Amino acid sequence: MQRFSVVIPARNEEAFIGGVLEALARQTLPPYEVIVVDNGSTDATAEIARRHGARVVACPTPGVAAARQAGLEAATGEWVASTDADSLPQPQWLEALARHTEGAVALYGPMAFYGLRPWEEWASEWAYRLFLRLMAALGKPNLGGANMAFRREVALEAGGYPPVHAREDVLLGLALQERGRVRYVPEAMVRTSARRLKKGLLPFLAQQLRNLSGRTEGYFAEDGERGR
């Protein structure tokens, strides 16, 4: 069975980091290691991560792309699985990914929001599944940082995450596609916080459309965090 290093970028995530680490502790296929990349937190993020047994890697360069890259470089497993501090990988996440590693250089799965009304969570899941299928049919797999995995050596050969403000995950996915098979794993589910919707659904959708247009700037707040 492949060894998965799970990398989680985090900046001031004390309210969420414990949840994702507990979700990883419930995996039916335990991760080889869990790395929390502390991207300049001023709260208890690093302390909570260590208390849960994660390895904490400091990354003083602001931005999620730099944090993900630091985690990639620090990982020691053959495969690197990426998720976010406010996400909850479902118990069979890693096991589902592991079943599809043969012949692939990268894997990705669906996501859905949690913290909404039940019908809204259901709608977010199936809308995203449809979106992923559409992008795959267009030959442009949309790998999301909260639910993707890849062969570490191949990612490093591809140059890792580009130093951009947004779409670093998608851009790495496209670079990996040039080096081998990128496979969608529909049963590898990750649920993610609905805090991204705090400004409303329309601003969130507008941001996603800007991302799809290729925009890689203006995605961060002044303090370097993703706008949420």
Among 67, 66, 82, residue whose Cα is nearest residue 31: 82
pLDDT band, residue 196 (cuts 50/70/90):
confident
| Beta strand pairing call for 181-184 and 104-108 | parallel
Q: Per the domain annotation, does 222 fall within a domain?
A: no
For 106-134, the pLDDT digits (tens) are 999 999 999 999 999 999 999 999 999 99
CATH assignment at residue 123:
3.90.550.10
Q: What percent of the chain has pLDDT over 90?
A: 83
Domain span including residue 198 = 4-212
When divided into structural domains, the chain yields a total of 1
Q: Per the domain annotation, does 226 fall within a domain?
A: no
Confidence (pTM)? 0.90
Quote the CA–CA distance of 35 and 6 in Å, as a whole number.
6
Confidence at residue 53, expressed as pLDDT on a 0 to 100 scale: 98
Q: Per the domain annotation, does 82 fall within a domain?
A: yes
Q: Per the domain annotation, does 70 fall within a domain?
A: yes
Confidence at residue 222, expressed as pLDDT on a 0 to 100 scale: 39
Residue 138, pLDDT > 80, answer yes
Confidence at residue 1, expressed as pLDDT on a 0 to 100 scale: 75
**Amino acid letter at 83?**
T
Quote the CA–CA distance of 23 and 223 in Å, as a whole number.
28
Residue 104: enclosing H or E segment and its boundaries?
A: strand 104-108
For 198-217, the pLDDT digits (tens) are 665 555 555 555 555 555 55
Q: For the chain, what is the mean pLDDT?
A: 90
Q: Per the domain annotation, does 64 fall within a domain?
A: yes
Q: Per the domain annotation, does 13 fall within a domain?
A: yes
Quote the CA–CA distance of 43 and 155 in Å, as a whole number.
31
Quote the CA–CA distance of 211 and 167 in Å, as a whole number.
7
Chain centroid to CA 101: 18
Confidence at residue 206, expressed as pLDDT on a 0 to 100 scale: 55
Q: Per the domain annotation, does 223 fall within a domain?
A: no
Q: Per the domain annotation, does 77 fall within a domain?
A: yes
φ/ψ of residue 141, rounded to 5: -55, 135
pLDDT band, residue 220 (cuts 50/70/90):
very low
Confidence at residue 215, expressed as pLDDT on a 0 to 100 scale: 59
